[in-house]
Chains A and B, each alone.
Chain A
Amino acid sequence: MELAGVEPPPSVTIIDDDPEDREDLMDLLRDHGIEPRPVNDRYGQDIDRLVADILAIGSSFVICDYRLQPKNFASFSGSKVVRRLGMSKQPAMLLTMYQSNNRLELRQERADMPVVVSRRDFEVERLGDYAEICRREFSDNPIDQRRPHRSLIAIRDIRNNHGPTELDVVIPNWRPDESIILPELCLAPGVTTGLEVGDYLLGDVNVGAEDEDDLFFRNVNEVIKACEISDL
């Protein structure tokens, strides 16, 4: 890939509510000669203060755990933090659970988070790449896997038995044989009414993504009704 071999950052700020995990990550970074800078405080709902604290520390990269609530570090998710840091062009990544089960929660926010890695796949050696991915995105030149293209989204099923509506969709230009779940929340508000199985949506999707969890959806705001499609 175009990124191979970017030098790791000299220092990394760590946000993790679990002291064991945090210490472990810090040791790991030290082993690689990277200075870890933990944030130790409780933030409740005050995301502004946390973001300000992180920016004040001034590391060139930030690793943020997804779940900040279990140990009462904060009452918001790490994804919110990473997105806020992105707005300030602060390179940051989200670290998810060992075996990610928040695929659907993250799908809605994935567009604004350049790097999301599960604990299992996390490699210190790639920290330089992770930071570079963020910088490329901030300078409007995202890597191939993160580049959005206007894409067709075929609706295979619509489910709303309980809770929020979910669609089963196929993105022909990504994997024509694989259907994935798309929460209705990823769709623009206007297009959801009257949607039927067999219809198509049009939206910006990073069809270069390797993994389903890396897909993001933006501007899903056009519908092609099944009946509009003419024979060839």
Chain B
Amino acid sequence: MVDVTPADAVPPAEVGEMELYHPHSWWTKYVFSQDAKVIAIQYSATATAIGFVALFLSWLMRLQLGFPGTFDFITPEAYYQFITMHGMIMVIYLLTALFLGGFGNYLIPLMVGARDMVFPYVNMLSYWVYLLAVLVLVASFFAPGGPTGAGWTLYPPQAIMTGTPGGQDWGIILMLSSLILFIIGFTMGGLNYVVTVLQGRTRGMTLMRLPLTVWGIFTATVMALLAFPALFVACVMMLLDRALGTSFFMPAIVEMGQQLQHSGGSPILFQHLFWFFGHPEVYIVALPAFGIVSDLISTHARKNIFGYRMMVWAIIAIGALSFVVWAHHMYVSGMHPYFGFFFATTTLIIAVPTAIKVYNWVLTLWRGDIHLSIPMLFALAFIVTFVNGGLTGLFLGNVVVDVPLSDTMFVVAHFHMVMGVAPILVIFGAIYHWYPKVTGRMLDEALGQFHFWVTFLGAYLIFFPMHYIGLIGVPRRYAELTDMTIMTESAHHLNSFISIMAFLVGFAQMVFLFNLIWSIRHGRDAGGNPWRATTLEWQTPQTPPAHGNFGKELPIVYRWAYDYSVPGAKEDFIPQNVPGSFIPSREPA
């Protein structure tokens, strides 16, 4: 990074009331940095590190499921601790943090043409609170009794009872505290992302000129700001139930022959609060992925995104609708059965805007000039896995079909495909796409090809057959699949196959990690705009962008983000900050 003196960074007239903080020492530049780009890298590195813990836990789980009885150290208690921590890390501490804290921080200011986030100090605090949350989470591995084994949904009463690992030890307390911290930290960051999109846009950058990446992250952040408080409330109330003996969620209970002190509470109340957060959370992960993949496809197919307006409306519609579908996670929870009619209808309605997005991605490919670069490959793989996982969502959202399938491996396969594999493929694609901007060097192509093929095919081979294990009726969250009449010998073999695939896919991630580190020094020099893309982050004077992003003057935006292959233009792309008119002669039919 180039040291920038205050004089050449900030022309006051453009920036308005925003004052850029200039670091003076190594500490304030790289550690307690207020630069969104540094914070983005800190977020990404932390999320990746904890993500590898989750990957390792998934291996341990697959060891147990694929080869039951072979590994004595994986007791049921340990197994439940693994699944809980794996789920929680992946959903909250990896996916949410990486998409919003990582990509959000890096891309929003650059893509909207701002020098930085609008509240850099709060932004910095956000990361440190997030790091603290991660450390508290990690601490639970070393606490007496180990981490909680309540499942990532943390349903009471079992989450805070003796029969669950960590329930009466430190595990659940640390988990809830860590979540509360995460939410506080996220709120700080989220305010930045939202207000920067609202107030930090450079001249000419209207909402309809924003790249879909920004639309996706923006909408997801708004949703997260409104949804996370529900988790916060649920966590605080459960913490009181556990630590101070209140009865928010705890009814009268006889545990192992002993009457507990609680009385009258409602476990369903927790489920409502949890899923009021939990369902929007799915889209909090999905919408940034939608946005990013739109940009990847458009750039690498050298074609404008098809139906941009529909894409924007669909993002807004999905964001709004996702707040009225939460109870589709609770069809068999024992809530009033007539809710099923309402929530099945809203859930299936949300399929329509989602389907439109899928159509528009594939229609962007139609008559494009498709460069099969690695980001493009990941984008294609995303569409396959997302369509697959989205369609099985239509099974589970359709209330009566959910009855036999809920709480089986079908659900596990579904949500891994749709909110695990699909968004992670987008993350990979996005990393291959933006790594040259972040470091100035390309990731290694051959390693990338290896990583792509093993990850994509391996993940598909893991989760596609898993649906069928669920169809047999095998419940999820079973530490032991022995002793079940429905588990046939062949189903056990299938499980072993899935486990082997899981190890292979996990191994490919090690290769990817190696590639990330190795290419920082040895990667091919990328230049400023290796993909010949139109959006503002590729138009910065320096690569990697210096402090303040855009040198002396902020760019002025003259066109939308998708002027690829414009008829009459010399190049097949026109960056957003290039003036002049290339309005195509006819409006297409």
Is B a genuine binding partner of A? no
